[in-house]
Structure 1
């Protein structure tokens, strides 16, 4: 086609140009996948999706949405694109990037970025472990950084070892200490941000170390206890958003009742209390443990 023909297609509305150097050859709404392709192709060779934009194609739940994030080599100068966040990196080798790849498996509910029928080709992007570490490193606050690391492991999309390898390759990061500490906690069995926060309360206020996600048999069923002090038979339960679902709520009540019948003393805290009033949580747990015979090291 000649340039005149292309200009006519654009003027008449038959085609669209969402970004410099990219043409969409239809007049209908531009899909999210088309916009991510447009961002990558507009920036050119070596550009890849990163962070949440990349992770959404690998089925990470709860972190999709927002502007398209594109990674380029640190030496490149790239002009701004509307609706695109451009980040630079010195580490974009084959260990961190795969060019075109379909998701390993599809979740029951696809992220909002993905249509029900996936195209045969998806944009080049960072591998999921790299994407997760980048999201944590770029997060607005520390809780968000911990949340994405815990979510990726909890959803069984990545392992702690895979995330550790990314951090080692990257070298010093903006949130290097927080990421390493969080991965250490996750590797020890803390599978949620709430449990990580509780571990910090234990360390700061001198509480004994509890078992995490302890499996017990009670009332003919098998349960997991969030925080379990076996010596003193004290169980600490941390309530997050998932406890609001009716079926989950009843399961929690049945589990709690079974624990009471076996002489387990149960304390329950909302997750926000661990963030906002850690001293109150520590005081109540310490008082309960002392009532059951714990003697703190003075």
Structure 2
């Protein structure tokens, strides 16, 4: 009887670990095994008896055959720690991306976490880590739109970057609109202009939403008619404002991707400051934002008009 109790406990613990592994591609973390009731000695005994195998440093596979791709995904996340997320290409493949192979599994961890090293692993600290980016189920990973944008940012070439933005949309894993919304969070990156162009093409063509289109949308929403291409004079000569309502001290600048280029950043900032110092509110609407989040931006336009004194007929 004295020996039956430990045996029962060990047997129940192994069953718990097995059930957990069945949901994780045959893999569990060492911490999960210990939390399930197994001792370190029992785990070592399973490995020494060649019933289980180690996967990197923090995981166990409950058989000695080839570890499944899903199992390797889980093991990669376990290597990164509690807040680790499979990211970029590896996240896309884990989410169902077909016909694409990854050389190593990228895992993102917050700053302050010490990355581990292992063959086939790419664990990195990133300021872009956010718990809000986590997919709702399955192996801990970033959501498809976020993963696609990051995969494009970190791709080896522009061609690969365009492919990684296009394939998830083609295969129905996400939409161009959701990609665009994720891209709006990218403030600085050398590949940002390229990504904007690709996503705009996916949304429905890179045709610029000009001032006439903007004015037409304002009329549809019941806003007053704006003045387009108004001339102002600054220290360095004349410049044009895209859209303005002088009566309500509101200016809207519609930014194409060229506004993020180094040659225009400083002149744009100086122009905006001049207008603001003259007493007007200046709203900047990126072209991509107008394509993928128009309601949000036009709600801001309405707030700007109301702050300037406009009241709708209704």
State the TM bucket, normalised to the shorter chain. 0.5 to 0.7
1:93 maps to 130
Indicate which of 31, 41, 49 corresponds to 2:68.
31
Aligned: 1:53 with 2:90: yes
1:182 maps to 198
Q: Offset at 1:37?
A: 0.8
Q: Offset at 1:72?
A: 0.8
Distance 2:203 2:46 in 1: 56
Distance 2:81 2:121 in 1: 14
Distance 1:74 1:180 in 2: 28
Q: Offset at 1:4?
A: 2.7
- C-alpha change, 1:156 and 1:32, in structure 2 (3 Å) is closer
For residue 164 of structure 2, give the secondary structure of its aligned residue in structure 1.
helix
Contact 2:109 2:123 in 1 (8 A): yes
Query: In angstroms, what is the RMSD of aligned CA positions?
Result: 2.2
Greater helix percent: which structure? 2
Matches within 5 A, 1:223-262: none
The number of residues matched between the two structures is: 170
Contact 1:40 1:48 in 2 (8 A): yes
For residue 131 of structure 1, give the secondary structure of its aligned residue in structure 2.
helix
Distance 2:59 2:105 in 1: 16
Q: Offset at 1:46?
A: 0.5
Contact 1:91 1:170 in 2 (8 A): no
Aligned: 1:151 with 2:188: no
1:225-271 deviation digits (Å, cap 9, x = unpaired) = xxxxxxxxxxxxxxxxxxxxxxxxxxxxxxxxxxxxxxxxxxxxxxx
1:3 maps to 40
Contact 1:74 1:90 in 2 (8 A): yes
1:74 maps to 111
TM-score by length of 1: 0.52
1:25-84 deviation digits (Å, cap 9, x = unpaired) = 222221111111111112211001111211123222232332222111133221212211
TM-score by length of 2: 0.50
For residue 115 of structure 2, give the secondary structure of its aligned residue in structure 1.
coil
- C-alpha change, 1:185 and 1:17, in structure 2 (3 Å) is same
Whose radius of gyration is greater, 1 or 2?
Answer: 2
Distance 1:55 1:42 in 2: 19
Matches within 5 A, 1:160-239: 160-189=176-205
Distance 2:165 2:191 in 1: 12
Which runs of at least 4 in structure 1 moved beyond 4 Å after TM superposition?
none
Q: Offset at 1:94?
A: 4.2
1:134 maps to 150
Indicate which of 71, 77, 84 corresponds to 1:40.
77
Distance 1:42 1:147 in 2: 29
